[in-house]
Amino acid sequence: MKDSKKSVKKPNAKGAQKPKERAFHTFKEVAKNKKAFFDYEILESLEAGLVLLGSEVKSARAGRVNLKDSFVRIMKEEAFLFNTHFGALEQTNTHFKPDERRVRKLLLHKKQITKLLGSVSVQGLSIVPLSLYFNHKNKLKAQIALVKGKKLYDKRESLKKKQQLKDAQISLKEAMRR
């Protein structure tokens, strides 16, 4: 009979194991939906993965993605991203070019999907993508948000605040020059 020996990790010279050091994670933002920040009031945001083809990932790395007028819809307990434009690259295969505005599946947990579905159906809210980015593991992620549409007077108010902030920064800059 063989003796079964368990492998045991030995501690380092000081007697304690070193904790893994985590580097500062940088995210490479590919696309941002600036219109969503103006048109909607953001209530809650989530991170979701995307099911993409290889050529779409390459075009995302090249920055050829547009989130204008894109939205998320939940069908049969699955989340899908509509109207997102992934521009085709010249290097892609001519025999296989996917539709640039095809529907793409979002990867979310069931609990997240049911929570979003409840908010959309009961409260009348919408789900829109805010940005697409590559995380620290080089995976393309979408930041989606549960949003409520702004009224016209809210949009005017946000423009007014933005202009006041800009004027204050200009006057501060001029005061620093003197």
Residue that the structure tokens 């933002």 belong to: 29
When pLDDT is averaged across residues 151-162 and rounded to a whole number, the result is 87
Q: How confident is residue 55, by pLDDT bands cut at 50, 70 and 90?
A: confident
Q: How confident is residue 46, by pLDDT bands cut at 50, 70 and 90?
A: very high
Neighbour count for residue 102 (Cβ, 10 Å): 14
Q: Does position 155 have pLDDT exceeding 60, yes or no?
A: yes
CA–CA dist 60, 25 (Å, integer): 19
Q: Does position 170 have pLDDT exceeding 80, yes or no?
A: yes
pLDDT 10s digits, 9-44: 555 555 555 555 555 556 788 999 988 888 888 999
Confidence (pLDDT) at 122: 86
Residue that the structure tokens 């998320």 belong to: 72
Beta strand 140-149 pairing with 28-32: unpaired
| pLDDT over 70 percentage in the chain | 84
Confidence (pLDDT) at 109: 95
Asked if 116 and 79 touch (Cβ cutoff 8 Å), the reply is yes
The CATH T-level fold of domain 28-150 is Small Protein B; Chain: A; (2.40.280)
When pLDDT is averaged across residues 159-170 and rounded to a whole number, the result is 92
Confidence (pLDDT) at 53: 84
Residue that the structure tokens 């989130």 belong to: 67
Nearest to 36 by CA among 136, 166, 132, 135: 132
pLDDT 10s digits, 66-108: 999 999 999 999 999 999 988 887 777 667 777 788 899 999 9
When pLDDT is averaged across residues 38-52 and rounded to a whole number, the result is 91
DSSP 8-state assignment for residue 92: S
CA–CA dist 20, 164 (Å, integer): 46
Residue that the structure tokens 């202009």 belong to: 163
Higher pLDDT, 160 or 95: 160
CA–CA dist 86, 39 (Å, integer): 23
CA–CA dist 47, 132 (Å, integer): 10
